[in-house]
Amino acid sequence: MVDKLVPNDPRVKHHTTTLPSGHTYHYLEALPSSGTPAATVVLIHGFPDLSFGWRHQIPFLTSLSLRVIVPDMLGYGLSSAPSPIPPYSYKSLSTDLASLIQLVSPSHPIILGGHDWGGAIVWRLALRHPALILGVFSICTPYNAPNSQGYIPKKVLIDQFLPNFAYQLQFEDPTLENKIQAAGRDGIRKFLNILYGSKDSKTGKGHFVANVGIDLSLFDEGVKVEKSELLSEEELEFYVDQYERNGVHAPMNYYRTWDVNYEEEKADLVKEGKSKVEVPGMILTATRDTALPPKMADNMEQFFPRGLIKREVEANHWATWENPEEVNKAIGEFVGELLKGRAKEFKASI
């Protein structure tokens, strides 16, 4: 049984800081039980999640004599939740996180990890600010280089190449958001359960289908959605409490950044020819992830001149919760290699 945090766990400290952007970030800090930390690890969550999403990893990492910093990302939990879309772009979030890293670890580079949207963000952060980072890993989310081929509408890309991203068209549209909000706390609970793997009690099939989205009738009054098996009732209620504070508009904004990401990266990363991540990396895919299937990580090695480690775990998209033993083992091995000072000697492995 993997040790994990509980809501309001006394083993973590809570901090709040306002960054140069004006955005306020809440973050968790966990320290080893004794001695000087060997390094600082910064973990970035995805959608729909919170800093608490790393509850199975934080105690494990502190047991390795590591200090762990985990923010509620912009739009989530106790952090700022601006309504406009641009603050949620890769560039804007990378700037915020670079500021946070310089605040929490001003003298030493950190080890950076992410899951889901957090995975996409940590790749961009490492691309833009490699001097701040000793090594970077992503769970489930592959690296995609900045688009130098010209603008492609998201729907065209989905229709032609990525049907598993069709749900994103529903998530960026206000209809789903409005349906959730109209159903109040129960709507938030239903939405979280659905995304966390709730299954139809009659068919045994999940309510979330990557190449379709979510049946909106599930949010109608009187329609029951079973609780996800991946988290306890206490954990679920903690999530609902946090999401009830600001609703789902800000988290949904991450799915609305397609155009602003293209324009911003065209103006600097593409113009400067920056596509390679100049720090050692690891991608950990999940065998049953229907939104981000392992095949999407093919051919990533060409963008990691200092080496990319590839690992795979038997799990669905919520690998950090469903199979924390194997996830933690992979993270621990990657961190161990980094701390042995062998980062420059990393060789791509599959």
Active site residue ranges: 116, 317
Q: What is the CA radius of gyration of the chain?
A: 19
Upper half-sphere CA count for residue 227 (Cβ side, 13 Å): 11
Nearest to 293 by CA among 285, 281, 304: 285
Identify whether the C-beta of residue 111 lies closer than 8 Å to the C-beta of residue 287: no
Q: How far apart are CA 100 and CA 79, in angstroms?
A: 13
- Rounded CA separation 216/173 (Å): 12
> How far apart, in whole angstroms, are the C-alpha atoms of residue 87 and residue 24?
12
CA–CA separation, 127 vs 147, rounded Å?
Answer: 14
- Identity of residue 207: H
Classify residue 280 as exposed, middle or buried by CB count within 10 Å of its CB (0-12, 13-18, 19+): buried
Hey, which residues does 28 pair with through a beta bridge?
14, 70
CA 247, 251, 257, 258 torsion: positive or negative? Answer: negative
Token pair of 29 as six digits = 């800090």
Bridge partners for 111 per DSSP: 41, 135
**Closest Cα to residue 52, out of 265, 281, 292, 236?**
236
